[in-house]
């Protein structure tokens, strides 16, 4: 399971922090839920982290240019953040 870790600054700018492969070596936690639970214990409570859906991961892996890869990552982050902000209201 691939996760994107990101920060959103006060001015709305998004900063990519890391791409994290959260699959354990022994095949435990295949959907990354244990990792995400651990990640949610940090200061932002997991708000700056999103699991990449399989279709988006496939698109990322086959993106022919860095700009197209960036666009996919941005779309995933923006959708995640919008969903989290909507759920918080």
- Per-residue pLDDT 10s for the chain (89 aa) are 888 989 888 898 888 988 888 776 677 777 777 777 877 777 766 678 888 998 999 999 999 999 999 999 999 999 998 888 887 65
**In this predicted structure, what is the pLDDT of residue 87?**
77
Model pTM?
0.78
Closest CA to 69 of 82, 52, 81: 52
Domain that residue 33 falls in: 2-88
The structural domain count of the chain equals: 1
Percentage helix, strand, coil, to 5, in the chain? 45, 20, 35
């Amino acid at each position: 399971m691939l996760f994107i870790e990101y920060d959103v600054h006060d001015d709305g700018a998004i900063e990519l922090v890391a791409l994290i492969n959260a699959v354990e070596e022994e095949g435990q936690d295949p959907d990354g839920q244990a990792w995400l639970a651990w990640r949610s214990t940090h200061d932002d409570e997991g708000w700056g982290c999103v699991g990449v859906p399989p279709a988006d991961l496939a698109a990322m892996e086959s993106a022919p240019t860095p700009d197209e890869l960036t666009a996919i990552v941005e779309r995933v982050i923006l959708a995640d953040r919008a969903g989290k902000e909507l759920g918080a209201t």
